[in-house]
């Protein structure tokens, strides 16, 4: 793992909310990041599926890391949009984000969120947003 990926992991592990919700940074490259969440009952809404807010957290944060890696430092998601496609259910959710473009001030990222149910991965949501350097 190179320096930037090590830095990404350290940043991730210093996010109290990511630890609280139980997410893991499971992959990172120079312009992409993957978060994985083992689905627990406390992630759910009234119908027994993962709450949209959990999915939007994964999208937001995976894009922050993909964008930060592309921009080369600490970063923030400035805005994003998400379309929910299928209910989040099964063993785990996997959010894969990558930067589609990166300048000095901005990276535009996309994220695909999959639900892995009985070992089968299905597209659960799609997101797109802007990531900016943290300062």
Q: Which residues bind its own copies (CB under 8 A)?
A: 11, 14-21, 41-47, 50-54, 56-58, 60-61, 64, 74, 76-86, 100-101, 105-106, 108, 110, 123, 126-130, 134
Name the minimum Å distance from CB 29 to its own copies. Answer: 19
Name the minimum Å distance from CB 65 to its own copies. Answer: 11
The answer to whether 111 and 96 are in contact (CB under 8 A) is yes
Residue 105 CB-density burial (10 A; 0-12 exposed, 13-18 middle, 19+ buried): exposed
Name the minimum Å distance from CB 36 to its own copies. Answer: 15
Closer of 29 and 133 to its own copies (Cβ): 133
Structure tokens at 104: 């000095």
Closer of 90 and 129 to its own copies (Cβ): 129
């Amino acid at each position: 793992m190179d320096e930037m990926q090590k830095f990404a992991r350290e940043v991730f592990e210093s996010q109290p909310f990511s630890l609280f919700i139980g997410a893991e940074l499971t992959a990172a490259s120079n312009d992409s990041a993957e978060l994985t969440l083992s689905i627990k009952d406390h992630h759910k809404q009234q119908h027994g599926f993962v709450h949209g807010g959990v999915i939007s957290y994964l999208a937001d944060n995976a894009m922050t890391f993909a964008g930060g890696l592309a921009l080369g430092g600490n970063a923030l998601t400035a805005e994003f949009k998400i379309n929910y496609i299928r209910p989040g259910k099964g063993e785990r959710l996997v959010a894969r984000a990558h930067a589609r473009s990166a300048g000095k001030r901005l990276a535009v990222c996309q994220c695909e969120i999959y639900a892995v149910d009985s070992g089968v991965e299905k597209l659960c949501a799609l997101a797109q947003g802007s990531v900016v350097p943290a300062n």
